[in-house]
């Protein structure tokens, strides 16, 4: 059984840890509010832009070939893996890494796979294991800005157009709520949805007037929609990180509280046992003196 000094030291240590986890939970909650507002405001714009693109392309009946929708035999693949810069967020990072490794070693086994890590955890994981990694953009989550994300999206898009990559896949956490983040593996290029519409030749539900020309609008709208889609995925991952960290720190605080209760109960029991032993020793000593 641990003595009183050891139990008291453990109580002090757990109390200090609990204060840290509480503070981290509050910081994560503050960051989450901002990140959640950004992704919630971004989603309607992204969905509407994609919807307009789909309807305009379908109305054209396949009369314009879209370079970003070109289907090719898959040999060279770019996998964009989005993690956080820091830990202490539960299984947030490990789930992304497992999904990425599974994608590389199972679905694209035998292909030329390049990994684009976004986030320091992904950068450290894939560089240490000697994966073919493009490491120019991993610090994007230090301060998420559209201009920086646009450069990354353009790298992937230009790589697809130049046939450096035949397919681009995003692996990230989709933000549902504070407690729930879904691992998402999403094909970024080629644009499967647009390709389906062009091949089927569906009619649009809205009649659009396109100026100066259909070709100009499509060639400008498609890259914008793709960059918006990429930016939305980054915002999803950013909000998911703070949600996961807030949940993880909340659980850690609760666990510390339960441990403190057990330690204090142990301390009180040990203290009571020590006092009882001292009383017994005193009584025994007094009886020995009386007997002498």
- Residues labelled as active-site residues: 89
- Is 259 exposed, middle or buried, given 0-12, 13-18 or 19+ CB atoms closer than 10 A? middle
Q: Where are the alpha helices (DSSP H) in 60-200?
A: 92-102, 120-128, 146-161, 192-200
Determine the Cα–Cα distance for residues 245 and 25; give it in Å rounded to an integer: 7
**What are phi and psi for residue 56, nearest 5 degrees?**
-65, -45
Of 237, 244, 236, which is closest to residue 90 (Cα–Cα)?
244
Report yes or no: 190 and 169 within 8 Å, Cβ to Cβ: no
Question: What residues does 257 pair with on adjacent strands?
Answer: none
Report yes or no: 256 and 14 within 8 Å, Cβ to Cβ: yes
Report yes or no: 229 and 46 within 8 Å, Cβ to Cβ: yes
The pairing of beta strand 167-175 with beta strand 181-189: antiparallel
């Amino acid at each position: 059984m641990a003595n009183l000094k050891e139990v008291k030291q453990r109580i002090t240590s757990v109390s200090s840890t609990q204060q840290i986890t509480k503070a981290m939970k509050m910081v994560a909650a503050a960051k989450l509010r901002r990140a959640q507002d950004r992704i919630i405001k971004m989603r309607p714009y992204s969905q509407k832009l994609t919807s307009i693109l789909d309807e305009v392309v379908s109305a054209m009946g396949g009369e314009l070939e879209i370079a970003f929708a070109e289907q090719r035999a898959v040999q060279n693949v770019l996998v964009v893996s989005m993690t956080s810069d820091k830990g202490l967020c539960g299984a947030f990072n490990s789930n992304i890494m497992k999904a990425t490794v599974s994608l590389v070693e199972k679905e694209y086994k035998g292909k030329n796979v390049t990994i684009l890590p976004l986030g320091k955890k992904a950068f450290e994981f894939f560089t240490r294991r000697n994966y073919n990694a493009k490491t120019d953009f991993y610090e994007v989550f230090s301060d998420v800005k559209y201009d920086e994300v646009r450069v990354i999206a353009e790298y992937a898009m230009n790589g697809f157009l130049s046939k450096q990559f035949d397919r681009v896949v995003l692996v990230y956490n989709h933000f549902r709520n504070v407690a729930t983040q879904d691992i998402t593996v999403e094909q970024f290029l080629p644009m499967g949805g647009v390709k389906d519409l062009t091949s089927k030749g569906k009619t649009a539900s809205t009649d659009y007037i396109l100026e100066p020309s259909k070709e100009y609008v499509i060639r400008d709208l498609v890259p914008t929609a793709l960059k918006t889609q990429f930016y939305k995925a980054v915002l999803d991952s950013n909000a998911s990180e703070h949600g996961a960290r807030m949940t993880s720190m909340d659980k850690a605080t609760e666990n510390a509280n339960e441990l403190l209760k057990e330690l204090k109960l142990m301390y009180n029991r040990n203290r009571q046992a020590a006092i009882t032993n001292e009383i017994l020793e005193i009584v025994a000593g007094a009886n020995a003196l009386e007997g002498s």
